[in-house]
């Protein structure tokens, strides 16, 4: 199999390619699962990534119970992902790994004290099937260490030869399709139905109660517009002056309250203090992800940079306007729901996959005007939204 790698550093890529080539010669794999789906008793999936990655994997997670009707489904997720996955009807057991190699604020250590304590528990379960939806060498090694009998995933960062069934990695596939592809060994003749991610926020009972309490504290009336002025990396952020002008125009031209969400209270605070309007509410940092999902489900419109909350808003059915940078390819990573509109500005250096733009001007974001966002917002809310 000719592998496609997502490694950026050429030296590391060359090293991994060499190891993979040797490993592929030394290991004989069984592409056909040893058990039929009805015989499988324990299934593990690993999804330690960011919020958007969790949301785009939901259709695949929804399919696990259909494929493996007699199996107990176990998910291994990080703290944020667990908030969205807890109580999911397709998951029987959810194991949380707080310190892991994919956290943005971690030192990316593989063997943390927490993981060392968790290994015996994972080994004891005796998983028949293990699925790594990301394609990460560290996830593959973890499945091997805990003795998963049949492993499936991508070899995009190396170690594909360690998998029993290595799925060919196509960088042009949408993230939802990439996750569903990992289940193809158990549905070789009939492709799994491609659906958009949905979050059943109605099951977030305590989150709904908290949201209604917060709504009273904020004296928030419906309908309202929600906005997320930050992103996970600087390269995905729209300039602060654009957000200031956008929110000012929305407040002056529309009657709805504006609710700012997200984790960066500094940027939201700058907007609130600069505009000083009683219809502008700063809710950033005041909700967990389940409460945020409930909050966004009540919004008339959500405006956001390319971020986890944009995926959440789309998955709860809210009309969503995404201001997308040239960091990634929108057709691969952003929501594809019919009530989502993506605004981007074409530049020659896209996709750069960089966290910080090295150029003097961040043209892929600076080229998106406030007037264009306002125009698309008006168009989106006039499409017969879900409310």
In Å, what is the CA distance from 217 to each residue of 251, 280, 283?
21, 14, 11
Reply yes or no on whether the pLDDT at 384 is more than 70: no
Q: How much is the average pLDDT of 125-154?
A: 95
Highest mean pLDDT (candidates 35-39, 224-228, 359-363): 224-228
Q: What ranges do the domains of the chain cover?
A: 10-186, 201-381
pLDDT tens per residue across span 148-195: 999 999 999 999 999 999 999 999 999 999 999 999 988 877 778 888
Residue 57 vs residues 9, 131, 153, 197, 288: alpha-carbon distances, Å = 27, 12, 13, 8, 20
21 CB burial (10 A radius; 0-12, 13-18, 19+): exposed
CA–CA dist 332, 335 (Å, integer): 9
Residue 225 · residue 299 · CB < 8 Å: yes
pLDDT at 101: 74
Q: Is 263 exposed, middle or buried (0-12, 13-18, 19+ CB in 10 A)?
A: middle
Residues contacting residue 241 through CB under 8 Å, at least 6 positions apart: none
- 144 neighbors 125 (Cβ within 8 angstroms): no
Domain 10-186 is classified in which CATH homologous superfamily? Glycogen Phosphorylase B; (3.40.50.2000)
Q: What is the pLDDT of residues 318-353, one digit of tens each?
A: 999 999 999 999 899 999 999 999 999 999 999 998
Contact between residue 157 and residue 25 where contact means Cβ atoms under 8 Å apart: no
pTM score of the predicted model: 0.92
376 pLDDT exceeds 60?
A: yes
Structure tokens at 320: 């969503």
pLDDT at 222: 73
> Do 10-186 and 201-381 come out as alike in CATH topology?
yes
Long-range contacts, stretch 335-342, CB < 8 angstroms, 24+ apart? 335/196, 335/197, 335/310, 335/311, 336/174, 336/176, 336/196, 337/196, 339/314, 339/380, 339/383, 339/385, 339/386, 340/314, 341/376, 341/379, 341/380
pLDDT digits (tens, 9 = 90+) for 202-220: 778 888 888 888 888 888 8
The pLDDT, as a whole number, for residue 313 is 96
> Hey, CA dihedral for 264, 198, 105, 355, is it positive or negative?
negative
- Among the listed residues 309, 241, 250, the one whose alpha carbon sits nearest the alpha carbon of residue 280: 250
Does the structure show a pLDDT above 60 at 300? yes
CATH topology of domain 201-381: Rossmann fold (3.40.50)
- For all residues of the chain together, what is the average pLDDT? 90
């Amino acid at each position: 199999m000719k592998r496609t790698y997502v490694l950026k550093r050429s030296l590391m890529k060359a090293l991994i390619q060499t190891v993979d080539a040797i490993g592929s010669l030394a290991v004989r794999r069984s592409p056909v699962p040893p058990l039929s789906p009805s015989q499988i008793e324990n299934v593990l999936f690993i999804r330690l990534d960011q919020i958007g990655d969790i949301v785009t994997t939901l259709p695949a997670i929804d399919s696990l119970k259909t494929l493996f009707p007699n199996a107990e489904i176990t998910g291994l997720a990080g703290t944020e992902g667990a908030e969205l996955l807890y109580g999911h009807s397709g998951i029987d057991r959810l194991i949380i790994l707080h310190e892991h190699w994919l956290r943005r604020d971690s030192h990316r250590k593989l063997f943390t004290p927490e993981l060392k304590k968790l290994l015996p528990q994972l080994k004891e379960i005796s998983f028949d099937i293990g699925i790594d939806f990301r394609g990460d060498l560290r996830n593959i090694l973890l499945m091997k260490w805990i003795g998963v009998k049949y492993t499936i995933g991508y070899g995009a960062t190396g170690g594909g030869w360690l998998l029993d069934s290595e799925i060919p990695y196509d960088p042009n596939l949408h993230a939802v399709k990439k996750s569903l592809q990992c289940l193809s060994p158990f549905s070789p003749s009939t492709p799994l139905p491609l659906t958009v991610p949905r979050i059943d926020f109605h099951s977030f009972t305590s989150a709904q109660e908290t949201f209604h309490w917060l709504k009273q504290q904020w004296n928030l009336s419906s309908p309202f517009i929600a906005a997320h002025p930050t992103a996970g990396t600087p390269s995905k952020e729209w300039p602060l002056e654009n957000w200031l002008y956008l929110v000012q125009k929305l407040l002056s031209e529309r009657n709805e309250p504006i609710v700012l969400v997200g984790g960066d209270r500094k940027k939201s605070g700058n907007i609130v203090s600069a505009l000083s309007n009683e219809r502008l509410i700063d809710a950033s940092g005041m909700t967990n992800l389940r409460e945020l999902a409930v909050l966004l489900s009540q919004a008339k419109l959500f405006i956001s940079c390319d971020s986890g909350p944009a995926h959440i808003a789309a998955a709860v059915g809210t009309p969503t306007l995404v201001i997308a940078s040239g960091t990634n390819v929108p057709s691969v990573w952003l929501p594809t729901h019919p009530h989502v509109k993506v605004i981007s500005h074409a530049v020659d250096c896209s996709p750069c996959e960089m966290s910080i733009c090295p150029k003097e001007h961040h043209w892929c974001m600076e080229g998106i005007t406030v007037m264009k966002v306002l125009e698309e917002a008006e168009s989106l809310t006039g499409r017969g939204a879900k409310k």
